[in-house]
Structure formats: C-alpha cells, structure tokens
A and B are shown apart, each in its own frame.
Chain A
C-alpha cells in the first residue's frame, strides 16, 4: 500500500514538473507549420511517447485509456519514421514476444515485451478477479459475467479462485502464465536507457509472484505432486 502511495505521490510530482516544463514546442514558429505533421516525425516526439508509455506502465494500475492512446500514437509515429516498412497485419499467435515484435521495431523488443506482458498481466489478473461472480450467477436470462464452467463440484471447496483457473484444464494454467517478465531484455540496462527504479521493481514483481505462489499451492493440492521448480529470474 505504501508503495502504491509512493507511486501516486511521485506521479503527481512528475505531473507538476511536466506542467512547469518550458513549453518549447510553442516556439515552433508559424502555427500552420506546426499543424501539418512533417513526413517523418522528429525523434524527440518518438522519445516523448516512449517516455509516456514507460511512465504509464510503471503505474501500479495503468489508466487503460491513456495507455491505449499512447501506444496507438507511438505506432503512428513509428510507422512514419520507417516509411519503407509497411506494418504487417497483426497475427494472432500464441507467442507473446513475436507478436509484439511485429508491431514495433526490433530495437524496441524490450519495450514491446513489456507492453505485451503488461497487457497479458492485466488479462491474467482479471481472470483471477472474475472468480467471485461465478458462484453468484444462477443461469440468468442475460449473459452472466464470467460464465460458470459446467461442473465445479468438489472444486468449490477449494475456494472461488480455483474454479476459474481450472476452466481450461491444467494445460490452460501454463498457457496463461506469462514468462516474458523473466526475459532478460526487460531488465537489460541497454534496452531503453531507463532502468526501472528500485521501488517500482518489487511492485511489479509482487503481482506475478502472488499468482505463481497461489498456482503452485493449488497444483500441490490437486495433483499431489511437488511444485515445479522454477529457475529464479532476475529481480526476484
């Protein structure tokens, strides 16, 4: 909680700083010139967008609208900076880093991995969160939130979280686990020149750790096997 509070205060301070920043963009000269975008975006606009994206991702709970708008704007800028390369259509692929790479240039592999991993995290966390409603729904006429799996049965005894996790069978558990957090690119100093600050690291780690500890416990209980050994990743 203190971390989140710390993050919030910091964000507000940064916002105040941002507002106080010398608006050197205003001195771009004739308004008409500023209005027509140059054929190739300046690298500073690109850098600014990357900075915003990182800032957004560092929030404990990113503003989804802000994130989506910044990502879309970044894609536009990216596209204009590499006019010869047409953006390939986004294929639906199971491998997270590949899809992300196709969207942004390879030099931003770390960034794309972090964007993709964040969006996956949001999706994964949301699946866990959906669980409490499954028991409340009793086949209403409308489409109930989450949709209860056909036979919960004895799994109910283990608690609400399990029923959702086991919807897709045990294999589904592993598919949902996002391992891109542990790809070295994310933490490599060279990736963005922006090291995640120490207080942010634990906050980001906490969430996947919590999920995995819970998953491991459930695996133990259900399957009766020992928890799989997981190689310690960086930042743990």
Chain B
C-alpha cells in the first residue's frame, strides 16, 4: 500500500501502532530507553488505518500491532524487537537514527 510504503521509506524508524494499545506503548518506551525517537503512526487515528494494518500484515508482520520498520525494512512486532534487543542487534540497527543528544 502506497501510504505505508511512503511512510516507511521517508522515515528511518517507524512504528505502526494503536493509541489504545498498551503493548505498543511499552515498545515506544523501549525505544526511548535506548535513545531513539521513532516516527509513530497511530492507525486507530487514521481513517485509512484498517487498510494500512492489512498492508503491514501483507508485508510479513504476523502478529498484530505494533509493527516496527527500520531503514525501510520490516523488523517485526514486539517479539522480534525484544529478541533483537537481547541479542544486541537492535542498537546497532537504530544507531543512524539516534537523536543527536545521545
């Protein structure tokens, strides 16, 4: 879907989320802890949200939201991000997008 692809290519670090979802919130906190500010797109606040959610799933995200894209590529949902972080792979991946103050 175009909107999804555009958002994903324009921003290095994108999270598709729902404002009511607490697990999505937890993931946002995690990125904060490692010193990055991802571009968050709340699909429940977007009129095209449903379609976007379907598009994200077609791109390979098996779990429900949140869906995390880094450098235009789908990383996955909470499971994948946690695994990546514990294996030490998340920080190198987000380093290009870390805020200058860090």
Q: Do A and B come from one complex?
A: no
Interface residues of A (CB under 8 A from B): none
Residue ranges of B at the interface with A (Cβ–Cβ < 8 Å)? none
